[in-house]
Amino acid sequence: MLSAQTIRRWSFVHTWSSLVCTLFLLMLCLTGLPLIFDDEIALALNPDTWSPTHTGETRTLDRLLADALAARPGEVPLFMSFDEDRPVVNVTTAASLAAPPTAMHLASFDRGSGAMVPRGEAVMAFLLRLHTDLFLGLPGMLFLGAMGLLFALAVVSGIVLYAPFMRRLPFGTLRLPKSARTRWLDYHNLLGIVTVAWVLVVGMTGVVNTLAQPIIELWKQTELADLAAPYAGQPPPATRSSLDAAVAAARAAAPHMQLQFVAFPGSAFSTPAHYAVFLHGDTPLTAHLFTPALIDARTGDFVGLREMPWYVEALALSQPLHFGNYGGLALKLLWAAFTVITLVVLASGLYLWVARRTDPSRPGSPLEVATSGRASP
């Protein structure tokens, strides 16, 4: 068993690592809760906004691209992505290939009619931005990542302290007739220990997600730079080969894979001379792993498939494990339940700290609990 001094040290670590990150963790849980049901909420908020037009034909990607560029005169195409559950193509354009994300324009088009599809998800976009970076861009993401690491430290120190707290109590003890502070201490311990694995997985994958920009930047500066090196200094081709043919060539090279998005020549995810057609697998595991197929943008010839390095694949796999959106509605509901429990653990921890400070005469410090076997009167 731990010595009294060791318990006091772990208690200090647990208290302060928790307190520093609690406010942000509460915000992350509150914004994360609706984000679990992103698709369902978007559908509920806009039930009649748009439905696909059944014209009997599917517009070519080249034609959709031409329409998108006609609607944004003077802009260049950066990316084209494809919705998985509806016949919608999303085209990202900007005034230049080097435009920052905030200066990019995204428009969605019906593949049947070519008509523009409204994008009415402002509330969810706001929540996602708040959850991801506090509207501060990369500094905000890295800050939340640091809060995530503090949270992990709080969880680990909580596990260490669980032993002395529970030394003389059977597992699952809830002393309901005791004082409010004792009750909430028991709730805090029980809720925390039974959800600890989920909390650590979601917390640590959240930390990995906050490193998305540096990870993608590393890939661009190493793997993508190697591919682009032979074409350094060259402008993107004045006339591009057919986009439909490029996508068809990529799909022919990997018929078992699904189309995710196309990066146009010179954009952030391609070389100046290639279409990068990003494909993904069709199982829950491989659906998150992307492989770019490079197509010569002048000739339309298939150049090759490039596997993503391990660190990009780790990032890709951390996203579903964080958001819980990979196993249907049942998994989402369970994710929501675990999130609510985490909220209770955070709030009860805060309550216990405040209660102890406002009533220091009452016994129940971690040290006393550990040595007497009583959590509080």
Residues that bind another protein (CB under 8 A): 1, 162-163, 166-167, 171-177, 190-191, 193-198, 201, 283-285, 317, 320-321, 326-328, 330-331, 334, 337-338, 341
Least distance between another protein and beta carbon 174 (Å): 4
Smallest distance, Å, CB 69 to another protein?
39
Q: Provide the minimum distance between the beta carbon of 184 and another protein in the complex, in angstroms, as a whole number.
A: 13
Residue 166 or 276 having the CB closest to another protein? 166
User: What is the smallest separation between the CB atom of 335 and another protein, expressed in angstroms?
Assistant: 9
Q: Of 43 and 194, which CB lies nearer to another protein in the complex structure?
A: 194
**Of residues 348, 18, 344, the one with CA closest to residue 10:** 18
Amino acid at 272: P
Number of H helices and number of E strands within the chain? Answer: 13, 8
| Cβ distance to another protein smaller for residue 117 or 155 | 155
CB of 337 to another protein, least distance (A): 6
Which is nearer to another protein, 183 or 220 (by Cβ)? 183
Please say whether the beta carbons of 282 and 260 come within 8 A.
no
Select 29 or 341, whichever has its Cβ closest to another protein.
Answer: 341
Give yes or no for a contact between 111 and 82, defined as CB atoms under 8 angstroms apart.
Answer: no
| Choice between 137 and 281, CB closer to another protein | 281
> Quick one: 99 or 207, whose CB is closer to another protein?
207
β-partners of residue 92 are: 79, 106
Distances (CA, A) of 316 to 208, 209, 216, 288: 10, 9, 11, 6
Beta strands across the sheet bearing 116-117: 116-117, 105-110, 88-94, 76-82, 258-263, 274-280, 290-296, 302-305
Of the two residues 107 and 334, which places its CB atom closer to another protein in the complex? 334
Give the span between the Cα atoms of 69 and 72, in whole angstroms: 5
Q: How far is the CB of 162 from another protein (least distance, A)?
A: 7
User: Helices in the chain by DSSP H: which ranges?
Assistant: 4-36, 38-45, 61-71, 122-133, 138-165, 180-194, 196-210, 212-219, 225-228, 243-253, 310-323, 328-358, 366-372
Length of the chain: 377
262 touches 278 (CB < 8 A): yes
- Do residues 141 and 210 make contact, with C-beta atoms less than 8 angstroms apart? yes
Query: Shortest approach of another protein to residue 198 CB, angstroms?
Result: 5
Least Å from the CB of residue 316 to another protein? 11
* Whole-angstrom distance, CA of residue 346 vs CA of residue 352: 10
